[in-house]
């Protein structure tokens, strides 16, 4: 079974020139048997391609001749070798910029040359998470971008009077793709307990904006895409130009085990930075490997009281950052931080990604604990390993298929410690 863009089940279409012999036992777990084909027409053999999940919210517009997004969903069936991890030779604490640049270069290799069409990357394999196509802001059909938080006036630049849309696409390397495949092994019964990302997992997200160079001057000469996104009304879509604004990276690194087990980083595009290509002009905003739970104040001060966040002191484009100056990118909510928001990724999603607007300091700091990579945000729930794409995907799947809720397995060992000591402790 597969799904249409609204979440309804459908039978995968047979390859051209052939008709598939559908049998009652056919399912993804029996995908190898799909090679059983009845050849009813004369023509070249075309092997069937399994596509359990939709690519995008809408099909390509009539007459569209440009790029069409394909969800990379041939997830590894066995755990792949991580391969080269150049960042492992670098300390994220003492050399955070070099660490982030090593991770970014790893993500760019093979992807830039093929315009981020993952199936064409011959350097290494990358994968997408499913179920980001549904809802009004779901994946658009050109590059698979999904709608993110919009930028308010003056968030991107002091002289910016307008609101701007932001759209993004995230990818995982092979170890991460293996985990996604395990969670979604049965397309009708996701398994949250399988979300255990191994050391060396890398996630990367490209964030694009509709902001103009006139209002955000540092976007000059930025990398651009065409994307099928919302018009000003927010109810219809059209092809528009979007500019690369931000790139996020996340690395599962056991050297950060005393805090969260993850290192998050953010880059911003700076048209004034040196570099021959737009990718060369991405500059790090900062890195973080913990939420500094003992720092409870709201506003940032100088010098910074944070010890588990590094912010680039030579950064050009103005940044609003997160609570108390914790790491956040230009698109992100200034009330949060990269790790804070992602720490809420769990099944069931009983806590919002952000503290309530009227939360007291004590209440708000619940979002700034150092939660281990395999521990849930709330007791009794199942951690999704800091993956909001898994969290959102499962939520959207259940919105479209509420009857499946009763079938989702929940591990018996979900009641575990949800955070580590708030004592200041640094990693080697």
**How large is the average pLDDT for residues 199-225?**
98
Q: Considering only residues 22 and 364, tell me which one the structure prediction assigns the higher pLDDT.
A: 364
**How large is the average pLDDT for residues 138-148?**
98
Which residue shows structure tokens 């979900």? 414
Whether residue 421 is predicted with pLDDT greater than 80 in this model: the reply is: no
Single out the residue of 196, 129, 194 nearest to residue 168, CA to CA: 129
Residue 40 CA to residue 96 CA, distance in Å, equals: 60
Residue 366 CA to residue 293 CA, distance in Å, equals: 9
Q: Which residues contact 354 (CB under 8 A, 6 or more apart)?
A: 333, 335, 336, 341, 367
Residue 71 CA to residue 81 CA, distance in Å, equals: 22
The partner residues of 248 in beta bridges, in order of sequence, read 205, 266
**Contact, 263 vs 289, CB < 8 A?**
yes
Residue 71 CA to residue 128 CA, distance in Å, equals: 6
Which residue shows structure tokens 């950060």? 256
- Give percent of the chain with pLDDT exceeding 90: 81
Q: pLDDT tens for residues 41-90?
A: 334 433 344 569 999 999 999 999 999 999 999 999 999 999 999 999 99
Per-chain mean pLDDT for the chain: 88
Whether residue 248 is predicted with pLDDT greater than 50 in this model: the reply is: yes
**For residue 43, what pLDDT is reported?**
41
> Would you tell me how many other CB atoms lie within 10 Å of the CB of residue 235?
8
**How large is the average pLDDT for residues 324-333?**
96
Q: pLDDT tens for residues 152-194?
A: 999 999 999 999 999 999 999 999 999 999 999 999 999 999 9
**How large is the average pLDDT for residues 13-21?**
33
**Contact, 48 vs 105, CB < 8 A?**
no
**How large is the average pLDDT for residues 355-373?**
96
Sign, CA dihedral 313-317-322-327, equals negative
**For residue 319, what pLDDT is reported?**
92
């Amino acid at each position: 079974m597969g799904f249409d863009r609204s979440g309804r089940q459908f039978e995968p279409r047979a390859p051209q020139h052939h008709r598939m012999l559908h049998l009652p036992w056919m399912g993804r777990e029996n995908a190898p048997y799909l090679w059983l084909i009845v050849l009813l027409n004369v023509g070249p053999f075309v092997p069937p391609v399994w596509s359990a999940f939709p690519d995008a919210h809408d099909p390509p517009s009539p007459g569209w001749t440009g790029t069409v997004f394909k969800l990379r969903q041939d997830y590894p069936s066995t755990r792949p070798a991580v391969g080269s991890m150049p960042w492992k030779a670098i300390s994220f604490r003492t050399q955070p910029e070099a660490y982030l640049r090593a991770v970014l270069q790893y993500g760019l290799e093979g992807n830039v040359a093929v315009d981020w069409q993952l199936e064409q990357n011959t350097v290494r394999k990358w994968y997408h998470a499913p179920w980001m196509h549904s809802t009004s802001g779901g994946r658009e059909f050109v590059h698979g971008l999904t709608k993110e938080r919009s930028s308010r006036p003056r968030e991107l630049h002091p002289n910016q009077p307008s609101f701007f849309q932001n759209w993004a696409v995230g990818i995982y390397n092979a170890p991460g793709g293996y985990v996604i495949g395990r969670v979604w092994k049965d397309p009708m019964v996701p398994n949250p307990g399988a979300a255990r990302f191994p050391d060396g997992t890398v996630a990367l997200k490209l964030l694009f904006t509709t902001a103009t160079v006139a209002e955000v001057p540092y976007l000059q000469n930025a990398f651009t895409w065409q994307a099928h996104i919302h018009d000003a009304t927010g109810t219809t879509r059209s092809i528009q130009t979007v500019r690369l604004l931000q790139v996020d990276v996340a690395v599962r690194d056991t050297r950060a085990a005393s805090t969260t087990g993850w290192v998050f980083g953010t880059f911003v595009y700076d048209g004034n930075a040196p570099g021959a290509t737009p990718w060369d002009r991405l500059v790090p905003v900062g890195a973080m490997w913990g939420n500094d739970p003992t720092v409870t104040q709201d506003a940032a001060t100088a010098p910074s009281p944070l010890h588990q966040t590094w912010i680039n002191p030579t950064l050009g484009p103005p940044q609003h950052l997160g609570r108390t100056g914790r790491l956040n990118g230009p698109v992100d909510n200034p009330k949060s931080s990269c790790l804070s928001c992602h720490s809420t990724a769990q099944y069931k999603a009983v806590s919002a990604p952000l503290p309530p607007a009227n939360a007291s300091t004590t209440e708000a700091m619940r979002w700034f604990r150092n939660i281990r990579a395999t521990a849930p945000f709330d007791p009794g729930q199942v951690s999704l390993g800091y993956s909001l794409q898994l969290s959102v995907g499962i939520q959207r799947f259940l919105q479209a298929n509420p009857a499946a809720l009763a079938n989702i397995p929940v591990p018996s060992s979900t009641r575990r410690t949800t955070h580590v000591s708030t004592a200041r402790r640094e990693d080697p």
